[in-house]
Copies of this chain bind each other. A is one copy, B any other.
């Protein structure tokens, strides 16, 4: 992508009213744009990041023991379904509206009320189980206070998977696999070392649910990490247990954290109101046992920035970055510099490397460097008169301070 063509505008000034570091950086660097409180557009740079996250999650849903089949369910949902689960009046962030014919409709904040009646149409026998369905779909939650930029919004893209099982044992096995898959997702997103499985209350249908919490000082949650087994517990569980429910240790470390995912054993909580049953081998009808597994993509993107930045800007992990390489030409009026930069840009792209090329002629070196640091692409490649004299470029990783002079024909090899 040519930077001169990219739809974005850098705002050099820190906002006075900063809700969170990620909000400030993502807004100033042109990744997202706030339309109203808790409602955002994802601009070209932000869209690329979102797609990278989506790709990692999708691969982990499909090519993994989670074995998910992808679908899309709608956002408009009929009141009846929410009445059946007793959530029409009790889901406090439910957006309600009137459809044609004065019909009461809710904007789905989660999709159990859609996926369970859908499953009911296709599940009859034990042979139809287990299976799991997932989607990437917008969720709507009328939060009283939207805050922290894209960490807590009223409209957000979520991956939600629902698993359907013949019995509790099958759910339990699947759930353990899901924990591993989730940890792998956060690892691939570059926040694996900071992200802990965290036991939380399971509600009336299960002893525990599991949150995935990423340690950061900007976190709203407090978690207690067991120093022996490295599983954490949240505040509620800690209050009830002086020892780690997993290993019995009482050695905890307290940390602030952001929740980046959560999974629940729903058991029969939703199959019961919709009477979702199957006929077992012995001919008896039994309720289907369910689990659900969510990740908010915007929240995850914001969290990645919360834990990967410095005072100058974002430092994207390679797998998440909108581009891998940021080429910067200095003194664009020098035709040889421009031609060389363009050739490197084209050659790298031919090799499948994603490149942002700062081809702008009206910016100083200082401005270009400052913007590059704010945007946070992993590799910065600078072409100047000085480097060209040695048939070289300057290569710098965003996460490191060392600058290396690299022969142009060695550049591709240097980008591991």
| Interface of A toward B, CB cutoff 8 Å | 5-9, 33, 35-44, 46-47, 50, 69-78, 95-97, 99-100, 103, 105, 107, 114, 117-118, 121-122, 131, 133, 138, 140, 142-146, 154-155, 157
Contacts and interface: CB of A to CB of B under 8 A. Distances in A.
A72 B47 contact: yes
A33 B100 contact: no
27 contacts: A5-B131, A7-B69, A7-B71, A8-B122, A9-B122, A35-B73, A35-B117, A35-B118, A36-B103, A36-B105, A37-B100, A40-B74, A41-B71, A41-B74, A41-B118, A42-B71, A47-B71, A74-B155, A75-B75, A75-B155, A76-B140, A76-B154, A96-B97, A97-B97, A100-B145, A100-B146, A107-B107
A144 B33 contact: no
Copy count, this protein chain? 2
In the complex, which of the residues A8, A9, A74, A140 has the most CB atoms of chain B within 10 Å of its own CB atom? Answer: A74
Shortest beta-carbon contacts, A-B, top 3:
A97-B97, A44-B69, A42-B72
Contacts of A69: 5-7, 44
Nearest to A164: B7
A53 to B, nearest CB: 13
B44 A78 contact: no
Contacts of A140: 75-76
A285 to B, nearest CB: 18
B72 A41 contact: yes
Given A78-B35, A118-B33, A41 B97 contact: no
A396 to B, nearest CB: 27
B99 A70 contact: no
A296 B154 CA distance: 25
B96 A71 contact: no
Given A7-B69, A154-B76, A142 B100 contact: yes
Contacts of A97: 95-97, 107
A7 B133 contact: yes
Given A36-B78, A41-B114, A76-B140, 20 more contacts: A7-B69, A35-B76, A35-B114, A36-B76, A36-B77, A36-B105, A39-B77, A41-B71, A43-B118, A44-B71, A72-B157, A75-B75, A75-B138, A76-B155, A96-B97, A99-B142, A100-B142, A100-B145, A100-B146, A107-B107
Contact of A121 (B33, B40, B95): B33
A100 B100 CA distance: 23
